[in-house]
A and B are shown apart, each in its own frame.
Chain A
């Protein structure tokens, strides 16, 4: 009889020791795992101001923001009307052009292909722009249109629009 009682007590002690040990170990591992996330100074890299006065229509520049390339493009009338004319049903990741720009002629995008992170071509006049007159990613062949939306290829989503604002007519603040 006494044995039964003891056994219960024993398994209770075993279970609580093991669970406490497990919780303690997990708590101990947490700071180690957490240390691998971006550090405070990496997060603090904040914002970049860009002068856009010298950009001609139909041209684009690439600037660096938080270590990533950002495309700033002054679109032509043709590019704008092309971007607006597209039907939502034709898009893999449906979004209307108006939601992707603040001023029609200025398109600001994070220049990183949403497939596996290459920088798409299309910034230089001589670059391939793909079948939709926007950007073309050479790594695995994704085509983006003049609003930076994915039209063809393995990339799942549109080129991202970073947070930005117009400080005045010739300066953009990204971030």
Chain B
């Protein structure tokens, strides 16, 4: 008649009722309450939380935009203008969404660079890293699709150039491109499917983020020293310490993004995208969104169609292999006196690539793009795998707590 007695774990009977049927209460308690965080983590460890929050903001603002947006070549541009002028707070929704995308990438870039600098991709967090690169890929796809939707000149020609990349593939390329577009040129069929995919991919991202976070929590978070947690004394619990630290980061970030949304909403926008798409006229200077520009620079640095496309995709794909390219056992660059500087140079180089990717591909810009391309691949294929032959890492502290022992003297 009666099953096992329902445990009385919590004071609140509703929680007990749920917990007995679906133990998510204890799951959240374990993963976001008692979860031990290394106590030396700095603010770079807040960017994962920031990214998650922006993802939610993007999904919410996107759904409300979609209520007023029309995915048809004759109406898309006008419907976005209507959102801007007539829909109540439509301008706010759109500026949150377009600037949110840009800030999403800023946050993700910092998050990725954090992982690279402190060696978070190494054993035992390789799968966590791979899932992260996967999220990054999905984000690029999502924002590319989203950028097509307002159907301005940049939307149209950006979509044309990017989908034409596939036509570089020998034999199947042309067919693949037509299949992706649903037409011989970017047209209504393309806009329709791009909207459908733009709507759904963020939810896929959400799923991968859940796996990504679950994977970190298995072996715990990395930390600026890059050493393992040895005892409970090395950690603080997520609640309240990390939660409040993250909350402070979110507030600071909120101030920054609001400043842009309210005072400079078009700082990161391309003016040409306020001209309706015209399939017969290409703007004199087409540029991708700045956050994709480093890869665009690589594409144009190569004077051959297929070669450029291969190197561009290669530049992204190589990230997947980073955990195996790096042969050093020491995680954190703080303890790697040489690699540290090459790593810094990599960040600067990536930034420069982005800058020249937004400039015309000629003269000095082209030369810089080529040098940047060489360093990009040289960093992954030569410096990262072989530097530990000559580099002598500094001695690692015995434990996280030991770092602080010296300080109190």
Q: Are A117 and B164 in contact (CB under 8 A)?
A: yes
Residues of A within 8 A of B184 (CB): 38, 42, 66-68
B284 within 8 A of A: yes
> What residue in chain A is nearest B281 (Cβ atoms)?
A119
Q: Given A67-B183, A154-B303, does the pair A39, B189 have CB atoms closer than 8 Å?
A: yes
B90 within 8 A of A: no
Name which of B44-52, B118-126, B174-182, B393-401 contacts chain A: B174-182
Residues of A within 8 A of B304 (CB): 154
Q: Shortest CB–CB separation between residue A47 and chain B, in angstroms? A: 14
A64 within 8 A of B: yes
Contact pattern, A 142-175, Cβ under 8 Å of B = 1, otherwise 0: 0000000000001110000000000000000000
Q: Shortest CB–CB separation between residue A95 and chain B, in angstroms? A: 18
Q: Shortest CB–CB separation between residue B296 and chain A, in angstroms? A: 10
Q: Given A138-B284, A156-B305, does the pair A116, B160 have CB atoms closer than 8 Å?
A: yes
Q: Given A42-B189, A117-B160, does the pair A37, B179 have CB atoms closer than 8 Å?
A: yes
* Chain B interface bracket (under 10, 10 to 19, 20 to 34, 35 or more): 20 to 34
Q: Are A154 and B305 in contact (CB under 8 A)?
A: yes
> What residue in chain B is nearest A67 (Cβ atoms)?
B185
Complex CA distance for A36 and B303, rounded to whole angstroms = 32
Residues of A within 8 A of B300 (CB): 140
Q: Shortest CB–CB separation between residue B237 and chain A, in angstroms? A: 46
Q: Given A117-B160, A140-B361, A154-B308, does the pair A38, B280 have CB atoms closer than 8 Å?
A: no
Q: Are B179 and A117 in contact (CB under 8 A)?
A: no
For window 145-195 of chain B, which residues contact chain A by CB distance below 8 Å? 157, 160-161, 163-165, 178-180, 182-185, 187, 189, 193
Residues of B within 8 A of A138 (CB): 282, 284-285
Complex CA distance for A67 and B188, rounded to whole angstroms = 10
B286 within 8 A of A: yes
Neighbour of B286 across the interface among A33, A68, A139, CB < 8 A: A139
Q: Are B157 and A118 in contact (CB under 8 A)?
A: yes
Complex CA distance for A33 and B285, rounded to whole angstroms = 35
Complex CA distance for A66 and B187, rounded to whole angstroms = 10
Residues of A within 8 A of B362 (CB): 141
A76 within 8 A of B: no
Q: Shortest CB–CB separation between residue B349 and chain A, in angstroms? A: 22
Residues of B within 8 A of A33 (CB): 179
Complex CA distance for A66 and B181, rounded to whole angstroms = 14
Complex CA distance for A36 and B194, rounded to whole angstroms = 12
For window 238-297 of chain B, which residues contact chain A by CB distance below 8 Å? 279-282, 284-286
Q: Are B182 and A119 in contact (CB under 8 A)?
A: no
Neighbour of B280 across the interface among A37, A115, A119, A137, CB < 8 A: A119
> What residue in chain B is nearest A63 (Cβ atoms)?
B280
Residues of A within 8 A of B (CB): 33, 36-39, 42, 62, 64, 66-69, 111-112, 115-120, 137-141, 154-156
User: Can you sample 10 A-B contacts with CB below 8 Å?
Assistant: A36-B193, A37-B182, A38-B182, A39-B182, A42-B187, A42-B189, A64-B280, A67-B279, A68-B185, A119-B279
